[in-house]
Amino acid sequence: MKAVLAALATMLGLILIVINLRSLDNENNLFAISSFILILAIVFLGLLLLNKYYNKLIVKLPSALILFASYLILVLVIFFGSRLFSIEWAFIAFIISAFLFYDTKIDSRFLISPALIILGYIPFLLISKQNAVAETAAIYVYYFLVAGVGLQIAENIKKYENSFDFDKFIKEFLKKRKLIVFALIITGFIAIDISLINRIKSLELWKWTSIYIFIIALVFYWISELKQEPFRQK
C-alpha cells in the first residue's frame, strides 16, 4: 500500500511539473508546489527502501543523541538554510525531526518549548528594529508549533511512555543550581558589556539579544529558587 501511494505521489509531482512547463504565466507557483510534492515522494520512496535498516538503527541510538542531532540540524537550517534554499523548504527538517521524535518516543514538548523561546525573542527583535528577522523568526515559531503539536496529538492517540521525558529533564536541569548561577552571572556581564559598547558602536541586535538571554537565565534561576523553597522550610 505504501509503495502504491509513493508511486502515485511521484506521478502526481511529474504531472504537475509538465503542466507548469506548458503554462509559464503563473509566476512559477505551480512549479514550486509540484517540486515540493516530487521531493516528498522521493524522500518517501527512499525511506521505504531504508525502512528495514532504519528500524534497526533507531532502536540502538540513545534518545539523547537523537535529540541533540535534531536540534543541531534545526539550528543549522534556521541560521544557514536561507543561503541554500527558501524558508518554505525548511519545514521539511521540522517534519523529519517530528518523525524521529515519534520513532524514539521523545517528548513532544522538546519541539514546542523552542517555539516559546523564539516567540519571546520576537519583541526584542522588533525593539532593535530587525523587522525582517522578526518575520522569519515568526515563521520558525509556526514550524516548531506545527511539528510539536502534531507529535503531541500522536502521543495522545498512541498513549506510549516517553523514553526522554521533558518533565524529568527540566527537574534534573533545575537541580544544577551552580550551573544556572554561573550562566546568570556570565549572561549578565555580557549584556552589560554589549550595552556599554553599544554607546560607542551600534550593536542594537546584539544588545537586545544578550538582554533576552540574560532574562531567560534569570527565569531559570528564579524557578530553581522556587523549587528549593520547600526544602528550606523543612
* 90: Cβ contacts below 8 Å, ≥ 6 apart: 77, 78, 81, 140, 143
Kindly tell me if the per-residue pLDDT of 37 is higher than 50: yes
- 58 or 225: which leads in pLDDT: 225
Residues 209-218: tens digit of each pLDDT: 999 999 999 9
pLDDT band at 30 (very low <50, low <70, confident <90, very high): low
Kindly tell me if the per-residue pLDDT of 1 is higher than 90: no
C-alpha grid cell, residue 224: 530553581
Best mean pLDDT range from 28-42, 49-63, 118-132, 220-234: 118-132
Best mean pLDDT range from 44-48, 126-130, 160-164: 126-130
Burial class of residue 78, CB neighbours in 10 A (0-12, 13-18, 19+): buried
Look up the pTM and report it: 0.73
Residues 169-211: tens digit of each pLDDT: 888 888 888 888 999 999 999 999 998 988 888 888 899 999 9
Best mean pLDDT range from 46-55, 99-108, 220-229: 99-108
Residue 150 near residue 98 (C-beta atoms within 8 A):
yes
- 222 or 162: which leads in pLDDT: 222
Q: How far apart are CA 86 and CA 181, in angstroms?
A: 40
